[in-house]
Amino acid sequence: MRLHRVVMAIAGAAAASLLVSAPLAIAADSDAGKIPNLLGPWNNMNRFKLAPAPTGPKPIGDLPGYTHVDRGVDANGQDFSGNFWVGDYTNPILTPAGAAVMKTNAENAEKEKDPFWPATFCYPFGPTMLLQPQPVIFLQEPDKVIIIYERDHQVRHVYLNVPHSKNPKPSWYGESVGRYESGDTLVVDTIGFNAKAFLDRYGAPYSDQLHLIERYTVKPDGSGMQVDVTYDDPKIYKEKWNSVIRYRKGRAFPTEEVCAESAEDPVTGKLNPIPVAAKPDF
């Protein structure tokens, strides 16, 4: 949902400045001088779905008998409606607690009710940041990497070459620390999530024990980037599992996209229409 969009030139200028103003921190196992250029902008290609890794357990997919279809245009140019995300609560990777949450979300989807999606209600994204379709950029400083998402200009901070706090306070984005590996990969290690959202559009759950590891690797020609993600949450999943997020290099830096607050009536729970300005008002 958008109120207005204006070009965010400051972000682009700041990003470029940061990339050339100081040498970046290099972990002990990195190749000197081969820190990847993560600036972007990067456009997500997963379309709200966690793609499975080549091997290992698979992420939550469609419940047998259901197939999610996005709204689109058929071969004759006619619009057709999409349907809701009914997730597979029988996936053997789920613990009984995880399957119970997943079953509730699937039953709601059968009734045409989507699971909670933070961006829709102007909340911090939490783990769903990996599936946000709008452009994202990375500002690389000597001691941290700042990840900026276009929608509602949300920001993550990844602190380089430091350990986690002993007792991080639970939050939407958790506590992220990182390092560069092999000269071409940024590894982001996050704990301390508050478990208030889901992992994907099916409503795949997670708990406050989620340990998320993201490995960002840019293609040699800079045209794309792959993120290999590991999910470890013993409350919800019986074992670790992986997914793949793919990005392509975009042409324009993120624009400012403001989320309209209080879209949901706090009394009735009804979602109110969101006004969209035809042109910027300043």
Between 267 and 59, where is the model more confident? 59
- What integer is the mean pLDDT of 1-12? 40
Give the list of residues 6+ apart from residue 146 with CB closer than 8 angstroms, or none: 138, 139, 155, 156, 157, 158
Give a yes or no: residue 20 inside a domain: no
The predicted pLDDT at position 257 comes to 78
Question: Which of 85, 58, 51 lies closest to 70 in space, CA to CA?
Answer: 85
Give a yes or no: residue 8 inside a domain: no
Which of 30-39, 71-80, 140-149, 265-274 is predicted least confidently? Answer: 265-274
pLDDT of 277 over the 80 cut: no
Give a yes or no: residue 81 inside a domain: yes
- What integer is the mean pLDDT of 234-244? 98
pLDDT of 256 over the 70 cut: yes
Residue span of the structural domain in which 121 resides: 25-252
Give a yes or no: residue 17 inside a domain: no
Strand-pairing partners, residue 91, are: none
The predicted pLDDT at position 196 comes to 94
Q: What pTM was estimated for this model as a whole?
A: 0.80
The predicted pLDDT at position 16 comes to 43
The predicted pLDDT at position 116 comes to 86
The predicted pLDDT at position 104 comes to 97
Task: Calculate the alpha carbon distances from 244 to 45, 53, 177 in Å.
Answer: 11, 6, 20
pLDDT of 18 over the 50 cut: no
Query: Domain total for the chain?
Result: 1
The predicted pLDDT at position 86 comes to 96
Question: Which of 148, 154, 146 lies closest to 122 in space, CA to CA?
Answer: 154
Give a yes or no: residue 37 inside a domain: yes
If pLDDT is split at 50, 70 and 90, which confidence band does 8 have?
A: very low
Average per-residue pLDDT for the chain: 84
pLDDT of 20 over the 60 cut: no
Give a yes or no: residue 4 inside a domain: no
The predicted pLDDT at position 125 comes to 94
At residue 73, φ and ψ (nearest 5 deg) are -125, 130
- What integer is the mean pLDDT of 204-218? 97
- What integer is the mean pLDDT of 224-245? 98
pLDDT digits (tens, 9 = 90+) for 151-210: 888 999 999 999 999 999 999 999 999 999 988 899 999 999 999 999 999 999 999 999
If pLDDT is split at 50, 70 and 90, which confidence band does 21 have?
A: very low
Q: How far apart are CA 119 and CA 128, in angstroms?
A: 9
Exposed e or buried b for every residue in 134-163, given b needs 16+ CB within 10 A? Answer: bbbbbbbbeebbbbbbbbbebebebebeee
Cis preceding linkage at 41, omega within 30: yes
Give a yes or no: residue 188 inside a domain: yes
pLDDT of 31 over the 90 cut: no
Give a yes or no: residue 107 inside a domain: yes
